[in-house]
Structure formats: structure tokens, C-alpha cells
Amino acid sequence: MPEGKIIKALSGFYYVLDGERVVQCRGRGIFRKRKVSPLVGDYVEYQADNDKEGTIVAIEDRKNEMIRPPIANVDQAILVFSAVQPDFSTALLDRFLVLIESKQIEPLICITKIDLLSEAETKQIQQYADEYRSIGYSVLLTSSMEEDGLEELLSYLHKRISVFAGQSGVGKSSLLNALRPELELKTNEISDSLGRGKHTTRHVELIKVNDGLVADTPGFSSLEFTEIEADELPFCFPEMVKLSQDCKFRGCLHLNEPKCAVKAAVEADELLPYRYKHYLQFMEEIKERKPRY
């Protein structure tokens, strides 16, 4: 039975890359009965009808999967955030980071549009970049217009499956166009009235870049913690994971527990205050979430 990887899903068809050829496939009805949908990034077996068409008959086990964007078997997530237009937001970045950490996907923070910054704004963005690096995250500062940071970004994409994720209007498509100009992906100006970009990417597709595969995904502006439980959230903050070894209680949520090493670090200014603030906000959000039945 031939095998391949789904590189695009569109209008009920799945495009399977098998060697150098792409086969347009339908999914078998059995997947719908099992409530399993093939995802871009899936390794599949398919039954060939001819050289160009076939039917997916089996999906291999996934090492991870994301719901928004719908993609599986991701090696890393490039979290694209603009320095300005829209303004850089640590709250939104931390929200993305928690969701990526919960899937055990390696994040790379990519801050775009640095060519638009004043001297004072550049210092502020550099400070944020250094703070996230101190946690252990990789951070790139880039400009599609000036081509700053693009060579370094290319090196991260080599032989890996990467997903580009972030708000609409932050420059994901512009970055991919700068990396591979022949793609000519659609981009939109930011709407002044809304302060955010229009959705220009309509489907998930894996694109070859530097011997790797990159997903350009639909932009979105809000993310909910529908799959993360309160006792899982502390594991989505790497700096808290290290500190928690010194907490008095195993399973400490770093809220009101006595002899909590995380709270002690906050009081001693050894933990970024906005990170702990966001942690408390996310914890409250998870606890107030309506139960699922």
C-alpha cells in the first residue's frame, strides 16, 4: 500500500506527498464514523485509483496535533508577533506559548517589523527578547522589508515541519514571501478601524522551504484553553517547572500554598512579574471554564 504525508487539505480533498508526486485523495467514510479527520502533517496509507487520485485508508499515530490551526506531527511552532502594527503583546505571546508548550511542541519566537521601530521602541523590544531568552526560549528579531534575521530563520526551518502561527496582520505571509518570493502569498494591509489584519490565509498547507516543510496557517486573534486543566498549567511555564522542585508540596499550583518557591521568586523579583500575572489570569480562566460533558 503506498504511503505519504498530507501537505494540503481543501474542500474535502487531501493532497498526499509521496516522493516527488502529489496524489489528490478522499478520506474513507470509516474516518467520519470514528470521528477521526485526516490532518495536514499526517502520515497516511492510501489506495491509488490512478497516478493522480486515491483514497486514504489509514492514518499513522500522531506525535502531536493542534486544533487551531488543524495540523499534526509538528516539530516546531514559529510564533510570529509584530513589534508594532499591531503592537507587541506579552499577554498574547504567553497565551500562544502555553498552548504550544501543552502540545510538547518546540516554540521559536519571531518578532517582525523591527524596521518600523523608533530607537526607544527598539530598546523595549530588545528587552522583551532578552527576557524571553532568559527563560530559555529562542527569539529572532526580523524584518521582511530589510531582510533582517531571515538567514537565521531559514536555518531553523531546515529538515523540520514548522507551523507559522500568530495574529492576523503580524506579517506571517510577508515573512514566507521573503523566504520564498515565488510563493506570492496574499497579504493585506492592517485595517485602521479594526487595528488588525483581515484573514488572508484560508487553508492549511505545507510549503517546501530550505529542505523543510512550513505551514502557513489562518490567522486568529483569540485562543481559549479548552484542553488544558488547572494542574497542567504550571508545566507550561518552563521557569516555574524549574522552581517547583523547591516547593513544599508536590503538585503545587503556585497560588496560596505555603512555602511555594514560585511565589518566593516573584516576591524576590527573580521571576518576570508579567509572566506570573498572566499565569494567574490563565489559571482563573481555566477554573471558570464551563465543564465539558
pLDDT along the chain (293 residues), means of 10: 94 92 88 83 94 93 84 93 93 94 94 94 97 98 88 94 82 81 58 38 79 73 79 97 95 96 97 97 93 62
Q: Cell numbers of 199, please? A: 484573514
At 92, is the secondary structure helix, strand, or coil?
Answer: helix
Alpha-carbon gap, residue 157 to 176, rounded angstroms: 11
- Report the pLDDT value the prediction gives residue 226, as an integer from 0 to 100: 85
Domains of the chain, each with CATH number or no CATH: 3-61 (2.40.50.140), 66-216 (3.40.50.300), 233-287 (1.10.40.50)
- Report the pLDDT value the prediction gives residue 76, as an integer from 0 to 100: 95
Q: Cell numbers of 172, please? A: 506571517
> Which residues lie below 8 Å from residue 152, measured CB to CB, with a gap of 6+?
140
Q: Confirm if 112 and 175 have CB atoms less than 8 A apart.
A: yes
Cβ neighbourhood burial of 87 (10 Å; 0-12, 13-18, 19+): exposed
pTM: 0.84
Q: Cell numbers of 95, please? A: 497565551
Provide the β-strand partners of residue 77. 107, 163
- Report the pLDDT value the prediction gives residue 199, as an integer from 0 to 100: 40
- Report the pLDDT value the prediction gives residue 204, as an integer from 0 to 100: 80
Q: Cell numbers of 159, please? A: 529538515
- Report the pLDDT value the prediction gives residue 194, as an integer from 0 to 100: 32
